Amino acid sequence: MERVNRVALIGTGAVGSSYAFALLNQGVADELVLIDLNKDKAEGDAMDLNHGLAFAPSTTKIWYGDYSDCRSADIVVITAGANQKPGETRLDLLEKNTSIFKTIVESVMGSGFDGIFLVATNPVDILTYMTWKFSGLPSHRVIGSGTILDTARLRFQLSEYFEVATKNVHAYIMGEHGDSELPVWSHANVAGRSIFDRIQDHPDRYHTSDLDNIFEQVRDAAYHIIERKGATHYGIAMGLVRLTKAILHNENAVLTVSGYLEGHYDQDDLYIGVPAIINRRGVKEIIQLNLTAEEKDQFHKSASLLKDTMKPVLHKYVGV
């Protein structure tokens, strides 16, 4: 049989259905199976997407299925779980979503799945860690969406500020996908030049003091979107498709994901947002950036917050 790329999507809510739509429109996968507790919703999505195949860039086989379909999947993408409500932080979701994930991951592994997990449900760093524990897979094959969206938001805000196309702006958000994340200004550049050089070149137009406001817009973006429309889903869905493409096409692309640290950035036994090389095997390598003293301190505080928050669920579900 000809080798095909199969993606299994678990959760067809706002994020999941947006991911499926974006995946089809970019022609990334050969097969896409939709899995959800609400079988009617999953079946309806599959029907709706199939009706658009005549307009898609390539033919993708799409159907609604169950956990048994994960057996031959290259990637299982998890977007299922409780949603973040207005005024609620991503970490507030931890207990209820950990319980949901235990059932999901054990069901996937029961199918004989031996591929790569992509996790998008919040709090994504901790749920990625729990997926790794529940699955028993090597850590490089369990990846969270991490700060991929935060990084994209930062690149957009900087592109607006400096009036340069987003694709020519490079910068990272690291740490927790949440309130303790940090911008890595020391490695941010516009068209190959440090943002500080750019500011210095045009002191009448740009000011270093504006960077704090730019970061606040990035950090608080989800809260503003949730206030206006109830949920964020388009941006993260496109970020998940970018990750899917990097894996299936063996790209060796550098993306800010929730990756497992083993001594990187002086941290151990933790999933957290860091730049990493992504290819067919999952995380090929964690990129070790030379951070400033202030950035190191912010990163360590973010890591400590995640570890402290994770302790109760680790004790309850893993026994450590």
Cα–Cα distances (Å) from 72 to 75, 111, 114, 137, 281, in that order, read 9, 9, 8, 16, 16
* Best CA proximity match to 17, nearest among 29, 37, 3, 35: 35
Catalytic residue chosen out of the listed positions 140, 170, 177, 233: 177
Q: Is 255 in contact with 147 (CB distance < 8 Å)?
A: no
Q: Is 113 in contact with 261 (CB distance < 8 Å)?
A: no
Is 177 one of the annotated active-site residues of the chain? yes
Contact partners, residue 209, CB within 8 Å, separation at least 6: none
C-alpha–C-alpha distance, residues 237 and 222, integer Å? 14
Amino acid (1-letter code) at residue 129? Y
- Which residues are the active-site residues? 177
